[in-house]
Chain A
């Protein structure tokens, strides 16, 4: 049996990995256990900090004091996003943006998404309605229809390239092939497009996305940008893969595709968790534990007909009223009441009313995060992840 880890993180999403990376960077011995890929892989890869206004930090300052951002404090939020940007720069997937100014990126539906930090491949994605944009699509791509975009931009057009494959993942993988990239660039040059920006669905490569992007941009000698698609979303996967690899490179241990089968408790502490692995069960022992299993989509929370449960430790959850009130009537007004559900914590991210003294909670499983209402998904995940790591550091 292995010696205990300093920290065992349950849940390998943005929040859990951010906590884990912060801890391994400080030389801690950390394990991450995750049932499966996180919602980051479904996301645009852009970091929403607070999207319901022009100034994210200003918006955060006005949130109720029980919102996770406010529990950890605005200064800590800013620091953690700076850390995130540093990490990504070193990891070769740089992000741009200003924490005090939201930006717009063009969506496949021709609308604007409001977000804060974006990968460099989306730096030019804020477009004026009368600016010339040429959209490139790929034959057979099911969820990307350029006409949704061009209809909102009078001066625009589109062309379709046949990549021989038609899913976002398969096309992105094709771009990793040098010959394919050259063929694609020649085709683009032959289109002799009028001046203006060129937009692509976000499929320009997986591992080497930045160099592919720069090469296309340089050869065409103009601004280009990617438009994040609905899942499978390549920019979301790029972000997640960088995070996961970074953690591994720094010596972290990963238990992927594993669920928690049982929890060992001893005198108000969690001793170890056992994983449901084929054959002999694996026991993972830790000094401290971080719970980052996400909200309903990832299964950190589960709603029955009249209650909400936390699925690993059966922690007390906050339940926002009766089922009939969980959802508003309008689909398009973001933020249903059920989003308030989750684990309530104190300012050290320890769960309230819990028997465990060595457990911290971070990410979208936290009560009152309200990811859709405020547009703060990855932002809260990153900020509370760093904060949870700091709390662990203080105790270790």
Chain B
């Protein structure tokens, strides 16, 4: 049976951040994630490295955390942060009073601002609505959540951390009322094993209450779904926020070759069962169009949703539901760390690991803010343009992924999870959303003997169904046309339809 000091459940930004922090402090650990890295809220988020502007009026404490972490991450994570800058735009009718409070709070907290006239804003972002009243420039950035997780994991692995992806924790083992380990099951084979540890950290986000329940504890929370839509190109090179109290659909973030617009906020019960509805798409698109008028004539290539855990306060008073993070000591060897943001993941990990060293009676201080994320040397720079080098044998035309890159990813993660290969190569993440390159990637894998044809057929079918689910709520215009083409090819030419 494997033994370690700390067992981390959950491979989102929080779990991966904890793994890195523990690794640097020299504490042995094992991270267990039921899917791939970032398969929860982390991978479904907006990818905004907040300047704090969004929270500055209503939650100055959270805003202060954001700006200080923002400054740290742009230093230590150059290859996963794109320093786009952001604008808060005030549209006709938006409160002037809110704008004044915004500027004042920014000053108090130390978020640098620059008030721009519409014409100066238009110089920066030519697609922006020319009838805005004004725009306030803030240090927002765009961040690649998947890359962030991978880089944190690199350090953990280098220093002996055990990482199990596609392993689900099914049971928490207790002895004399204390958590001493976990039972896990591998996703495809169903193989089970047991791991022992001295502390169990529950970093399972929206699944947090379920995980805590396995150890007899609870993390009172309500779940809120947020939906996002993806455009087929980069409409803006800066983050665009609406200058008003936080509401639906008021952020647009550029990310590699595309833009992400969102979000909504709807109560849900089950984090594993979330669908984007077409009225959410309409709402986000309508709001985005107010800030960038060409938004609605742009092709939308995908929709997706993530779940935020909203932590209930002790009293159960709805108004005090907080988005700040919290560490809960279940008094049985398990800690839950919940809430927060991607932006503050490092700080959350720091506080969690401070607890761990305290329990172990060690004196090891956190150094994650000083050391650059390891493994960045091997990565290309963040913007896509830097990758337009000589490329041979292209498998994915939209994201310029080569046959080589696919083969390398297959060697890294094994061939069974096409999703993992897509995350690592960005295969199929572009405008056609894997319409054809997935078919090719699977063909390559079976040709090289890495996968049996029947398995690759099954994986392709699952992928196409998942892809369709993501596109379905946003099908009109050119994207509808594209989808009819894809359908005709897979069903009409390749004969993949349900027969009978």
Contacts and interface: CB of A to CB of B under 8 A. Distances in A.
A148 to B, nearest CB: 6
A338 B476 CA distance: 10
Given A230-B436, A304-B477, A333-B498, A297 B446 contact: no
A275 B127 CA distance: 32
B contact face: mostly helix, strand, loop, or mixed: helix
Interface string B250-271: 0000000000000000000000
Given A142-B440, A302-B477, A147 B453 contact: yes
B453 A110 contact: yes
A331 B436 contact: no
B465 A143 contact: no
Given A296-B481, A323-B278, A331-B465, A372 B454 contact: no
Contacts of A372: 487-488, 491-492
Contact of A151 (B278, B452, B475, B484): B452
Interface in A370-391: 371-372, 375, 377
Nearest to A141: B443
Contacts of B476: 303-306, 323
A160 to B, nearest CB: 10
A396 to B, nearest CB: 35
Contact of A228 (B285, B490, B493): B493
Contacts of B491: 332, 334, 372
Q: How large is the interface on B (under 10, 10 to 19, 20 to 34, 35 or more residues)?
A: 35 or more
Interface in B413-465: 436, 439-440, 443-444, 446-447, 452-454, 456-457, 461, 464-465
Given A107-B494, A304-B477, A329 B457 contact: no
B485 to A, nearest CB: 5
A297 B497 contact: no
A280 interface: no
Most buried by A among B461, B488, B492: B492
A329 B472 contact: yes
A151 B453 contact: yes
A111 B285 CA distance: 40
A215 to B, nearest CB: 27
A157 interface: no
A230 B472 CA distance: 23
B480 A109 contact: no
Contacts of A326: 475, 480
A37 to B, nearest CB: 13
Interface string A126-160: 00000000000000101101011011100000000
A324 B497 contact: no
A109 B461 CA distance: 12
Nearest to A228: B493
Contacts of A233: 493
Contact of A332 (B278, B452, B461): B461
A152 B487 CA distance: 23
Contact of A148 (B443, B461, B464, B492): B443
A300 to B, nearest CB: 11
B447 A108 contact: no
A302 B282 CA distance: 18
Contacts of A59: none
B381 to A, nearest CB: 28
Given A324-B277, A324-B279, A331-B468, A147 B447 contact: yes
Interface string B266-292: 000000000001110010010000000
A285 interface: no
Give me the 7 closest cross-chain CB pairs, A-B, nearest first. A151-B453, A145-B443, A111-B495, A331-B468, A109-B494, A113-B495, A324-B278
Interface of B: 277-279, 282, 285, 296, 393, 395, 436, 439-440, 443-444, 446-447, 452-454, 456-457, 461, 464-465, 467-469, 472-473, 475-477, 480-481, 484-485, 487-499
